[in-house]
Amino acid sequence: MRRVFRLLVPLLSLAAGAGAVALQGGCGPSKPARELTVCGRLTFQGRPVAGGTVVFTPDPDHGGTGKPLRAATAGDGTFTLRAAEGPVPPGWYRVALAPSPGETTDPPFPPQLRRPDRSGLVREVTTGKDHVFEFAVEVPPPVGP
């Protein structure tokens, strides 16, 4: 009995420690409840856009005011949006997308997507949840003669 008890106590301690770590959840440091995460991925023709730009501009048609928020895309096309003074404020945003400067693609990246007032892309950021926005830009091949 004593031998079983000596083996059981360390196993229970290990299990309790693993359970405490699992209850913390997520990866990385915890965030205050009011802070929102706005992130996502930009692809063009199915490939990640590295070094591109994603711009969220408050939408005046939905009462939005303030400065645009920018994020550069990483090598895998991912981005994380942040406001200079803290978390991204909730509201409606017009979105502009651009490839990395000087990059030429065939077919060309649609120029209207570079302007938030012409892109037609609108997203809402709401309080109390994280947001992941995927922007998959596809241009159909030209129709031949």
Evaluate whether 49 touches 42 at the Cβ level (below 8 Å). Answer: yes
pTM over 0.75: no
The CATH T-level fold of domain 38-137 is Immunoglobulin-like (2.60.40)
Local mean pLDDT, 10-residue blocks, the chain (145 residues): 36 32 33 67 96 96 92 97 85 96 88 96 92 95 71
Q: How many residues does the chain have?
A: 145
For residue 107, cis peptide bond before it (omega within 30 degrees of 0): yes
Which tokens go with 105? 């693609």
What are the structural domain ranges in the chain? 38-137
